[in-house]
Amino acid sequence: MKVLTPEMKEMIASQQCFIGTVDANGLPNVAPKRSTRVLSDQSLIFTEATGGATYENIKRGSKISVAVVNREIPDGYRFVGEAVLQESGDLFEQSAAMSEKMGRPKPRGVVVINITEIHSLKPGQMAGKKIV
């Protein structure tokens, strides 16, 4: 079981996360998602509001990765996992309420990422190495 450390959780909470997916032709897509946050010790979540390429790729079943880096340290992580799109239910309603409070439009869905691998993005010998 892949478990997020306190350091990973802090970085996710304080730094910009970028979501990577691929389309049906294998074309990569990378998008910043400000709403990325920790859902549990083994999963992340973000609110999908735009309905663009990331949303379409996830609907199609794309694998997903999340990269987060703190340039000041420097350190970072890449989380790889399975994306589960929820367009209704409790998590969706909670995210919709949060978006409304922030003056943002109602999301198209929320995406839960069940983490299957964690890689280091720390410069040097650990760069790109699988941690767990």
Residue type, 131: I
Alpha carbon 1 to its chain's center: 18
In the prediction, which pLDDT does 103 show? 86
- What pLDDT is stored for residue 124 in this prediction? 87
Helix (H) or strand (E) holding 37: strand 37-40
How would you write the pLDDT of the chain (132 residues) with one tens digit per residue? 579 999 999 999 999 999 999 999 999 999 999 999 999 999 999 999 888 999 999 999 999 999 999 999 999 999 999 999 999 999 999 988 988 888 888 899 999 999 999 999 999 888 889 997
Residue 6: CB partners within 8 Å, gap ≥ 6?
none
- Cα angle value 74/82/41 (rounded, 5°): 60
Q: pLDDT at position 55, please?
A: 95
3-state secondary structure 46-109: EEECCCCHHHHHHHCCCCEEEEEEECCCCEEEEEEEEEEEECCCHHHHHHHHHHHHCCCCCCCE
Burial 67-104 (b: 16+ CB within 10 A, else e): bbbbeeeebbbbbbbebbebeeeebbeebbeebeeeee
Q: What is the pTM of this model?
A: 0.92
Fold of 6-83+111-120: Pnp Oxidase; Chain A (2.30.110)
Q: Residue 1's pLDDT is what?
A: 57
Which tokens go with 99?
């978006």
Helix (H, G, I), strand (E, B) or coil at 20: strand
Residue type, 127: A
